[in-house]
Amino acid sequence: MPASQVIERICLEKRHIMKKTLIKMGALFLAGGVALAAQAATPEEDRTAFTNHYKFRFPDVPMEEYPNGAYAIDKIGRENWEAIEEFPPYEPFIDEGQEMWETPFANGKTYKDCFSDGPGIKSQYPRWDKKQGMVITMALAINQCREANGEKALKYKKGPIVPLMSYMAFESRGQITNVVIPEDDPRAMAAYESGKKFYFTRRGQLNFSCATCHVQNTGLKVRTEVLSPSLGHTTHWPVYRSKWGTAGTLHRRFTGCNRNIRAKPMKAQGEQYRNLEYFLTYLSNGLTLNGPGARK
């Protein structure tokens, strides 16, 4: 049994024991205790709650399938997807991105001078940057590198940043999601909490939260679209979407999911969406990176 599963087992058993003692302590206290637990859940408790929720919904889907999104749970969609993956539509983006990565800036330096471990560095992001006091995503780090070298920042939803990130994602395949929320800086936890709040807040004229679709109704269909679980939502970006006819970033997808419910989207790579990415990626801790991806 892999270590992560053992740990999860232990956690589950601990929860079980805790529950038993709580029941003994009386109903009044129990109610108070549960309410408190839900309020002050730690990130790890959040991740466990999400994981258990999906395991209960999809008992036959192994954890390592979640990076495949809706295709982990939608058999018909999966057949189409597997056919598409035979000739991946994102391949030209990887090639173009490699060229970008290797082409020096006007000052003669390259991306490698910013990212010494690069190009396969996706699992280092998003991360809390204590000095800047904010969540740094890979897209943001790319533009900080460009600007430090006298180059113009790239747009965040589409355009040249997409091939570059596709190449970096491709080179990161096989790495494990491992978002850390450092305990020595309370602002990091606040950023995580703000992302979590965003996820559960109902928005737009249609009054949905992200969780309404991807947690409460995951596996069900809106029209013909099967709603994917939140776990695995961050492992495979950028994504080539047939609907877009091109590849786009995670924040472009956020924008789309907000627009669909008639909520005015936030700024791509603005504070809200970066914190949202921080929270959402944390939930996928332990899952393997498999970008770039292809979706309907």
Partner 1 sequence: MRTKRLLSVLLLAVTFVAGTGVTLAADAKAENPKAVKAQMEIDKADKARKKAASVESEWTTTGKLIKKAQAALKKGDYDTATRLAKQAGEQGEIAYEQGASQKELRMPSYLKY
Partner 2 sequence: MTKKSTRLVPMAGMVILLAGPLQVATVAAAEGASAVAEGKAISFKRSKGNCLACHMIEGGESPGNVGPPLIAMKARYPDKAKLRAQIFDATAFNPDSAMVPFGKHRILTEDEIDKVTEYIWTL
Active site residues: 257
**Closest by alpha carbon to 291, among 230, 249, 245, 246?**
249
Binding mask 22-61 for partner 1 (x = CB under 8 A): ------------x--xxx-x---x---xx-xx--------
The DSSP output letter for 212 is I
Residue from 81, 156, 208, 273 in contact with partner 2 (CB under 8 A): 208
Residue closer to partner 1 by CB (options 115, 198) is 198
Binding mask 44-83 for ligand HEC (x = CB under 6 A): -------------------------xx-------------
How many residues touch partner 2 (CB under 8 A)? Answer: 15
Minimum Å distance from CB 164 to partner 1? 30
Helix (H) or strand (E) holding 295: strand 293-295
Q: What's the rounded Cα separation, in Å, for the pair 19 and 41?
A: 15
Question: Contact 167/119 with Cβ under 8 angstroms?
Answer: yes
**Closest by alpha carbon to 95, among 18, 191, 166?**
166
Binding mask 213-252 for partner 2 (x = CB under 8 A): x--xx--xxxxxx-x-------------------------
Phi, psi of 182 (to 5 degrees): -60, 140
Residue from 206, 242, 259, 270 in contact with partner 2 (CB under 8 A): 206
Helix (H) or strand (E) holding 293: strand 293-295
Helix (H) or strand (E) holding 21: helix 3-24
Give the CA dihedral 197, 58, 295, 181, nearest 10 degrees: 40
User: Which of ligand HEC, partner 1, partner 2, none has residue 295 at its interface (CB below 5 to 8 Å by kind)?
Assistant: ligand HEC
Residues near partner 1 (CB under 8 A) are 34, 37-39, 41, 45, 49-50, 52-53, 193, 196-197, 200-205, 207, 209, 211, 215-216, 259, 262-264, 266, 272
